Structure 1
Amino acid sequence: MTPKMTRWTLALVAGLMLTGLAQAQTKKELIAKVIQLQQPSVENVARSIAAQTAQQILEATGPAVAQQPADKREAVAKDVQAEVKKFYGDIESVLRDRAVKLAPTAMAPVLEEKFSEDELKQLVAWLESPTAKKFNESAPVLLETMQQKLVADTRGTVEPKIRTLEGTLRKKLGLPAAAPASPAASAAKPAKK
């Protein structure tokens, strides 16, 4: 090889290496942008976990509240709800802050593996588009509407299964059978639409 050809070869190799590094950096920047644009979704995951945890605690305390003397039951229930609401406020912010910090380490490897640089560019363009923003803003309403319709549509099928499961679990746990709903309690329930 001639010295001229060697310099040219070295320059070409160096250029290719720099191009590779620039592309890798570009891909990393695109991944960081996708994660940043997904921050509201990441925060919603944390909120959902906090809400589910608080709901589970409320459900677990329900039997204990029901066993309180009738004259104290409402006050105890309100106290329990206030404590669980306070707990939710505490853990929601902790989970949300932690989720935002963990998102890059949790999401970046998956984005790196599953998406090319071009796909990441398209994804960023979509996430930044007015249509995507409008869709993301509408998503909670869409999901809530779907959830309400699903619950209403399946209530007649699911509620008897829940009652059967409750009865089976009561027997297995040696608990007394649930008292049948009184006519006054049934009348107090809102009419199904």
Structure 2
Amino acid sequence: MKRTLLLAALVAASMGAHAQTKKELVQKIVAAQQPAIENIAKNIAERPALQLMQAAGSALQQLPTDKRELTGKQIEADLRKFVDEAVPLLRDRAMKLAPSVLGASFEEKFTEDELKQLLAWLESPVNKKYQQVAPEMQNAFAQKLIAEAAPLLDPKLQALQQKVRGTLGLPPPPAASAPSSKPSGK
């Protein structure tokens, strides 16, 4: 009986040590992910501002030419202020939320050995170098893709825009023909 209790106590203690080790690994992984977590928060904060900026760009075209620049700068300043206030707020909230949400997912989906491998990768010089060069590589790829796909997609996009304008009962935009004729006249 004593041996059974002793064995049960040893098993419970080893499981507790195992769980603690796994929790520590998860904490380190979440900490290593801080730049990515902050970037997600930044993107979430900037998304509505970008959408408003796009909508404002269309609305600005309806204003008299002499009011466009001043109004555009005012809207831009308001959007910048929003982003400047929203980014730190969301970043702080994301960092508080990450351990419970991401940490729980890491604990559930990965074994202790996998967490060790993941942490080793995240802390490796190769990963750090990759994180530094990835944005440049992705940007170059995106530019090349846009350049090659534009001739294929532009006619389809223009047709879609015309169809949507027609569905809405809007006339063709006069501003679209004016800028294209000005550069050719110069």
TM-score when scaled to structure 1?
Answer: 0.87
Residue 169 (structure 2) pairs with residue 165 (structure 1): no
Tell me the CA shift for residue 105 of structure 1.
2.0
**Structure 1 position 118, deviation (Å):** 0.5
- Is the aligned partner of 1:26 residue 2:21? yes
Q: Does 1:9 align with 2:4?
A: yes
SS of 2:173's partner is coil
Give the equivalent residue in structure 1 for 2:37. Answer: 42
SS at match of 1:181: helix
Greater alpha carbon shift after TM alignment, 35-44 vs 99-108: 99-108
Q: TM-score, normalised by structure 2?
A: 0.90
User: 1:154 and 1:186, CA in 2 relative to 1: closer, same or farther beyond 3 A?
Assistant: farther
1:136 and 2:136 are equivalent in the alignment: no
What is the distance in 2 between the residues matched to 1:51 and 1:187? 36
Unaligned runs of 5+ in 2: none
| Cα separation, 2, equivalents of 1:50 and 1:155 | 29
Matching residue of 1:3: none
Identity %: 43
CA distance in 2, matches of 1:186, 1:166: 23
Between 156-165 and 176-185, the greater mean CA deviation after superposition = 176-185
* 8 Å Cα contact 1:30/1:124 also seen in 2: yes
- The residue number in structure 1 matching 2:52 is 57
Distance in 2 (alpha carbons) for counterparts of 1:58 and 1:66: 13
Aligned length: 183
The answer to whether the 8 Å contact 1:167/1:178 transfers is no
Q: Which runs of 5+ in 1 are unaligned?
A: 1-5, 189-193
**Amino acid in structure 1 at the alignment position of 2:135:** P
Deviation of 1:142 after TM superposition, in Å, equals 2.1
